[in-house]
Amino acid sequence: MALLGAGLEGAGVIVTGAAGGIGEATARALAEAGAQVCALDLPGPALDDLVAALPGRQDHFALPLDLGDTSALDPAVHDAVEHLDRFWGLVHAAAFLQRQSPEEVTEETWDAQLDVNLKATFWLNRAAGELLVARGQGGRIINFTSAAWMTGPMLDSDVYSASKGGVVTMTKGFARRLGAAGITVNAISPGQIETAMQRKQNTPEAMAAVAANCPLGRTGTAAEVAAVAVFLASSHASFVSGATINVSGGLLMY
């Protein structure tokens, strides 16, 4: 359900990882709140189908892009903003996870995760921040980390966890730099959410054990995380910045 008075009607928002999981749920929730969505993900039918199914406005559009290609990020953000009626923000939900023990990690698998999860976060935040500052009407940047930023790695996610710790630090830095321009920068830290990434190289037994340890006794849904992203993008979160919002059902407490 869209937040009444959220101020997102007509707001242009870039959503990365929009073809699946939390990114898809966020793109849909923002569209329901009246935003114009630029859906960014790897090229393919999943991205095209998502854009065609977005509710509300008829001018949502796809931006096919591999976030591992750093040189393409800045021009892609500038191109997207040219096609948005009123650029308001970025929701960077895309991520890449490769479960490996430290002994199995190679430079290739290290780089693949750091490029998407950390390097692309910096480039996207920088480009979006510069364009929002130039526009002069404030804005929102929302990054995604993981509960592992605080707990440390579990189930052979050492590289992924390291990248997500960096996202928290980077989010605080951009929040300080962009705050004077009325731009808030925050991170969302999901716990165990029922998505394809959560199931990747994981066992049903391990997932059930984590769910059992959650005070709510279950895993979360992508829609529940998306609702927090909509809140942070909205006028209701106008004095929230530099925060890492814990969406774990109490699995992580701080």
Beta-bridge partner residues of 187:
143, 244
Answer positive or negative: Cα dihedral of 239, 221, 33, 92. positive
d(CA 132, CA 24): 24
Catalytic residue selected from 88, 144, 160, 174: 160
- Token pair listed for 184: 């808030």
Helix (H, G, I), strand (E, B) or coil at 234: coil
Question: Is residue 254 annotated as part of the catalytic site, yes or no?
Answer: no
How far is 84 from 8, CA to CA, in rounded Å? 13
Q: How far apart are CA 50 and CA 245, in angstroms?
A: 26
C-alpha pair distances (Å), 228 with each of 108, 136, 171: 33, 25, 16
Residue 11 burial (CB count, 10 A): 24
Side chain identity at residue 226, one-letter code: A
In whole angstroms, what is the distance from residue 132 CA to residue 179 CA? 11
From 90, 98, 80, 154, select the one nearest 120 (Cα to Cα).
90
Rounded distance between C-alpha atoms, residue 76 and residue 215, angstroms: 42
Tokens of 164: 């997500």
Catalytic residues: 160
